[in-house]
Amino acid sequence: VSCYLHHYTRLHALLPESVIDKFLQGRIVLHQIFESGSSFAFTMGLPERIDDKEGEMTLDLRVDNRKVCSLSFTIVPGWVVESKTEEIILISHLQGVKGCNAQTRLARKVLCDYSPKAMLLAALQGVANAFEIREIQAVCATMQRSHQESCSAIFRRGYDHFFSKAGMVKTAAGFYSTSIPLTGKPLSAFKGRARSRAKKRREMRQRIQLACEAWLFRTVDRAAPPLSDATISTELTEEM
């Protein structure tokens, strides 16, 4: 309970009451990209499933208004995960949506990334920057509340393998941790066409991160970093 009290105390400390109400009643579009006749929206709000509403906030990637992937997180004191950092963002859920293979393939192609999960991780870094939080941690497969031994291999691929590939390191307490920014492999580690693809991925992730950060900065009239040519959507919606 104390973690969720901390979480919402931090939300109220940064965000206006009107924005908090929008988060609690529906979803807010932090960033939206229109490309190839489709829309790709990064939204934030409460989890949609009633049994998931345990206090977290959720970032979703939506393709043409259909959710294809979600990431749930909480702002908690560092001691909760045995971190020396005063405050961290803790990822408790990261999963794609069944039946959205076509939308997932389209998002991967247009947004130049190998997984919608990586795109949401970029968006989360923007949220962390807006709250001046410098560390992200994530549950491992066996800590995930839906984990079942019969599906342990699937959970390991979805959590442990993904976080390791993203450059996060497993701590003695069993969480995956990274400081912000999460840089990943240097471009010099890639060769030929792989380097070009890696460069595009990095540029798109930075665009997503800065756009989400800028949206939150603007709600409190704080100066945000320059966004180059990133297109920011300020649309509020309760339908998405």
The strand pair at 176-179 and 169-170 is best described as antiparallel
Q: Contact, 93 vs 50, CB < 8 A?
A: no
Lowest mean pLDDT among 27-41, 46-60, 85-99: 46-60
Who's near 231: CB < 8 A, 6+ residues apart?
Answer: 32, 33, 34, 211
The mean of the pLDDT values for the chain is 86
d(CA 48, CA 67): 11
Lowest mean pLDDT among 133-147, 161-175, 224-238: 224-238
d(CA 14, CA 20): 10
Per-residue pLDDT tens digits for 171-206 = 999 999 999 988 878 888 888 888 898 899 999 999
| pTM (two decimals) | 0.86
User: Strand locations in the chain, DSSP E?
Assistant: 27-35, 38-45, 57-63, 66-77, 87-96, 135-138, 169-170, 176-179, 236-237
Among residues of the chain, what percentage have pLDDT more than 90?
A: 58
Nearest to 127 by CA among 185, 45, 55, 203: 45
Give Dmax over CA atoms of the chain in angstroms: 50
Q: Contact, 44 vs 30, CB < 8 A?
A: yes
